[in-house]
Structure formats: C-alpha cells, structure tokens
C-alpha cells in the first residue's frame, strides 16, 4: 500500500458516512496522500471517480489512486434497506409520495410503461433482458443467482410495481470493490495484467419534465455516448462487449439504445435474437449484471469489465475484448458516466 498516494470514495447514498467514512485512509494504514475526496453523483459516481483519478494523475496530482465503493444494505434478517422517499420525479416536494410513488421501482416502472406505449413492446421484452443476464450468470461462479430463468419462473414471479416483476429488479448484496488507477509509467510494475482506459464521457440531462419531452425514455446516455465517441473518433461499432449499469430490465433496453448500439425501439428485438447472450455478436453484462450477479452500484460493471479486459472470465470470457464499453447512471437515468477499457495500451 506504500505506493498509494490518492484515495477516492464512492459512498452509498443510503448510509454514506457509516459504510465508507473519510477516515478509511487511516483504517487502511495508508501513508500521506496528495488526493482525497468522496465523489457523489449517485450511480454514475464509480466511473466518475475513476475519471477524476485519471485526470488527477494526468495533471501530476497523484500517481496511484485507490478508488473504493462499499455498501452493506442487507441486514441480519436478510432484508435490504431501501430509500424511504421517492425519486422526486415532479420536482415538487411530497407530490410523488402523496400519489403512492415510493422508491426507485415505481419510477422505472413508469419508464417501462412509457416505452411499451411508444414502441409497442410488452413484458416479453423485459423477460428477454432478464434471461440474457441470467445466461451469463450461469457461467459466473461468483454470481448471486445462477439457475436458469424460464418463462414460467419469470411470469409467475410477483409484481413489485407493474410491469416490473421480481426478476426485473437487482439483488442488493453486502460487499466492496476497489480499483487502483495508475499512470502509464506504473503499468509495467503491475502484479497482474493491467487494463487500460482510453476515453470517458459524462452526460447529465437538463430539465426534461416539460411538454414535448419524454424523461421516461430520454436519458443522459445520449450525451455521454456522444462525448465518448468524440474522444475515440469512432462509432458504437467499435465496442466488442458492454457492461451496463442496469438495475432493472428496462434500463438495459434504454442503455443499448441510448449508447447507439441499436436504434430507438430496436433493443427488444436485438436482445430476443440472442445478440447479447453468450455466443452472441455483442456480449452484454457478461457476469450476469445487477439482475443476476450482484448489485454494488456502479462498481458491478466496472469489476466485470476489468475481468474481461484481463482475460480472466473463464467460461464467460468474451472471444474478443479489444475494447469494452462500461456505463453508470444515477437518478432515473438523468446522470450518466461511461468509459472504455482495453487490454491494449494503444488502440
């Protein structure tokens, strides 16, 4: 740990100071630091944290930055703590809760209903997304739930908020993930194969709760994607695989479209065709994602992307890993961050 000269924290919004306090630097026995901060941008924080570490290194502010996320929502009784309030979709204090809209699931159920109305899809599209993630989880020995997800299992599961069922929603777990972001000069000293970061993009949509807009399906993904591709000088066809921040099935659909991997309204057919499953042309959520692997917010896709970039995926290793897309989002998809990862120093 002597090489660490920077520490960035991505705290859980439920109990930020209890789970990941700033004095973690002391608890870990770290030496003097030239960089210390807690990054708060909801589910987009993990990738933002990595981006800010890279920027600090590029500016000479640090050489090796430890980026940490931890969360412990599940208590001894097995129940997960949840937000007691709403996602404040209207912007008017108390209105959402007074209408019975509590927590995140209701907000994303509205997104699913809106998507169904606009594009003519139905809950079979959600099942396809859930079963695709489960197919990947079956190849991941560390996945939270690995058994096959048949149609009967899915459609007979209980509603959480219609049209979202039990298997449309992420499984929270207790855990932590950390990565070290280092300068290129340090890469030759890595004890394991390094993964290289080539581009970052953020996208935070403006006030779309106005007539003529559709905040249920219009997200910050389009903005983040444009910035990412501008930096790369490429198109979405560049990506060999994708690790998406997707705590609900509808968010997988919206992310594939928002990041330009298919046209609006086409994601259900893309997923149903098997394109995103093991053996498909565009592997997506190769560890099982938030729905079947584990939910540690933005660090879930980051961790799996590092596994794939290093070639450590075992049965689930993608055949081509030259460049992967990794995404994160917060709120009801209005805060977005994305990055690309590769085993190659130069693309």
Summarize pLDDT for 190-212 with one digit per residue, the tens.
888 899 999 999 999 876 666 66
Q: Encode 104-131 in three state secondary structure.
A: HHHHHHHHHHHHHHHHCCCHHHHHHHHH
| Whole-number percent of the chain with pLDDT over 90 | 74
Burial 107-130, CB ≥16 within 10 A → b, else e: bbbbbbbbbbeebebebebbbbbb
Q: What is the mean pLDDT of residues 165-178?
A: 93
pLDDT for 18 equals: 66
Q: What pLDDT score was predicted for residue 33? A: 95
Least confident stretch, 10-14, 60-64, 77-81: 77-81
Label residue 217 by pLDDT band (50, 70, 90).
confident
Helices (H), 102-196: 103-119, 123-137, 151-155
Spatial contact of 167 and 130, defined as CB atoms under 8 Å apart = yes
Residue 89 pLDDT level (bands cut at 50, 70, 90): confident
| Sign of the torsion angle spanned by Cα atoms 117, 262, 229, 130 | positive
Specify the pTM.
0.93
Averaged pLDDT score across all residues of the chain: 91
Enter the DSSP assignment of 215: T
For the segment 323-331, the average pLDDT, to the nearest whole number, is 96
What is the arithmetic mean of pLDDT over 254-271? 97
Confidence of residue 313 (pLDDT cuts 50, 70, 90): very high
12-16, 32-36, 42-46, 247-251: the lowest-pLDDT one: 12-16
Q: Determine the Cα–Cα distance for residues 28 and 158; give it in Å rounded to an integer.
A: 43
Which has more confidence, 309 or 91? 309
CA distance 106 to 86: 9
pLDDT of residue 347: 85
Question: Which residue would you say has higher pLDDT here, 89 or 331?
Answer: 331
Catalytic residue among 245, 259, 294, 335: 245
Query: Does the pLDDT value for residue 273 go beyond 70?
Result: yes
% of the chain surpassing 70 pLDDT? 91
At 84 the pLDDT is 47
Q: If pLDDT is split at 50, 70 and 90, which confidence band does 245 have?
A: very high
Burial of 146 (0-12, 13-18, 19+ CB in 10 A): middle
One of 115, 154, 239, 295 is an active-site residue; which one? 295
Which residue has better confidence, 169 or 100? 169
The verdict on whether 245 is a catalytic residue reads yes
- Of 56-70, 78-92, 121-135, 170-184, the least confident: 78-92
Please say if the pLDDT value at position 86 is more than 80.
no
What per-residue confidence (pLDDT) applies to 207?
A: 63
Q: What is the Cα–Cα distance from 317 to 31, expressed in whole angstroms?
A: 37
pLDDT of residue 331: 87
């Amino acid at each position: 740990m002597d090489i660490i000269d920077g520490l960035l924290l991505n705290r859980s919004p439920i109990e930020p100071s209890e789970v990941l306090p700033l004095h973690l630097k002391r608890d870990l026995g770290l030496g003097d630091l030239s960089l210390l901060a807690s990054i708060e941008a909801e589910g987009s924080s993990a990738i933002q944290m990595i981006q800010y570490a890279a920027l600090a290194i590029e500016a000479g502010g640090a050489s090796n930055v430890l980026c940490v996320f931890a969360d412990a929502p599940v208590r001894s009784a097995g129940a997960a703590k949840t937000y007691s309030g709403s996602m404040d979709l209207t912007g008017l204090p108390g209105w959402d809760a007074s209408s019975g809209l509590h927590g995140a699931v209701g907000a994303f159920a509205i997104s699913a209903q809106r998507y169904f109305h606009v594009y003519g899809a139905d809950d079979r599209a959600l099942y396809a997304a859930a079963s695709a993630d489960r197919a990947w989880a079956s190849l991941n020995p560390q996945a939270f739930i690995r058994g096959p997800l048949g149609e009967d299992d899915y459609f007979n599961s209980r509603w959480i908020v219609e049209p979202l069922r039990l298997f449309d929603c992420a499984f929270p777990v207790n855990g932590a993930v950390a990565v070290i972001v280092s300068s290129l000069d340090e890469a030759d000293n890595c004890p394991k194969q390094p993964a290289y970061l080539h581009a970052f993009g953020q996208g935070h949509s403006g006030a779309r709760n106005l007539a003529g807009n559709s905040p249920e399906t219009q997200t910050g993904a389009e903005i983040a994607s444009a910035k990412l591709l501008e930096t790369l000088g490429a198109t979405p066809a560049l990506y060999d695989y994708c690790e998406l921040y997707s705590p609900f099935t509808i968010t997988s659909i919206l992310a594939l479209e928002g990041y330009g991997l298919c046209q609006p309204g086409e994601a259900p057919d893309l997923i149903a065709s098997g394109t995103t499953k093991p053996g498909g042309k565009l592997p997506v959520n190769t560890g099982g994602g938030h729905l079947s692997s584990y939910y540690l917010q933005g660090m879930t896709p980051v961790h799996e992307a590092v596994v794939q970039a290093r070639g450590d995926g075992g049965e689930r290793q993608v055949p081509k890993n030259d460049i992967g897309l990794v995404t994160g989002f917060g709120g009801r998809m209005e805060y977005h961050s994305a990055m690309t990862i590769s085993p190659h120093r130069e693309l």
